[in-house]
């Protein structure tokens, strides 16, 4: 079974994909110009990032599926790549969730969610401060 599958895998590469590559190239150029123009519009705060990442994901999918032939390939290779994407989501998602849910004192001064500067009182000089 594995032999026939991997035979099919290499058979598919023997067909000419040139037309498909040209279509993907055109789509990638259009999406790149779109993301550039969308950034020029200056959308309100969360939407600029959402739109930019959505377009980047579309472009990345085109590259992975057609230039990298994941579309034609069998389960194992797709599974490996999909698994890496799960860990991308875990690493980025959990790290951001951690920072987004911290209480104010845990954030460094001057950043979002930190104490405002006037409320920050530096330790008194000469008292029980750390000596360098």
- Nearest approach, Cβ of residue 72 and another protein (Å): 11
50 binds another protein per the rule CB under 8 A = no
Long-range pairs, 15-21, Cβ under 8 A, ≥24:
17/66, 20/66, 21/66, 21/67
Near another protein by CB under 8 A: residue from 76, 104, 115, 129: 76
Euclidean distance between CA atoms 113 and 101, whole angstroms: 10
Question: Binding pattern to another protein, positions 9-38, x when CB under 8 A?
Answer: xx--xx-xxx--xx-xx--xx--x--xx--
User: What are φ and ψ of residue 36, in 5° steps?
Assistant: -65, -45
- For residue 130, what is the DSSP state? P
- 66 near 20, Cβ under 8 Å? yes
Q: According to the binding rule CB under 8 A, does residue 101 interact with another protein?
A: no
**Cα-Cα-Cα-Cα dihedral of 15, 80, 84, 25, to 10°?**
0
Which residue number, 3 or 121, has a Cβ lying nearer to another protein? 3
- 43 part of the interface to another protein, by CB under 8 A: no
Q: Give SS3 for 131.
A: coil
Interaction site with another protein (CB under 8 A): 2-3, 6-7, 9-10, 13-14, 16-18, 21-22, 24-25, 28-29, 32, 35-36, 39, 45, 48-49, 52-53, 55-56, 59-60, 63-64, 66-69, 73-74, 76-77, 80-81, 83-85, 87-88, 91-92, 95-96, 99-100, 107-108, 110-113
């Amino acid at each position: 079974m594995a032999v026939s599958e991997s035979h099919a895998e290499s058979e598919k590469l023997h067909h000419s994909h040139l037309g498909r590559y040209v279509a993907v190239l055109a789509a990638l150029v259009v999406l790149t110009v779109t993301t550039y123009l969308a950034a020029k519009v200056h959308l309100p705060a969360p939407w600029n990032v959402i739109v930019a990442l959505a377009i980047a994901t579309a472009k990345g999918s085109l590259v992975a599926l057609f230039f990298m032939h994941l579309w034609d390939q069998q389960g194992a290779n797709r599974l490996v790549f999909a698994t890496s994407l799960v860990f991308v989501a875990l690493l980025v998602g959990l790290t951001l969730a951690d920072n987004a849910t911290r209480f104010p004192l845990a954030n460094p001064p001057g950043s979002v969610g930190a104490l405002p500067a006037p409320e920050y009182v530096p330790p008194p000089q000469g008292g029980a401060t750390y000596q360098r």
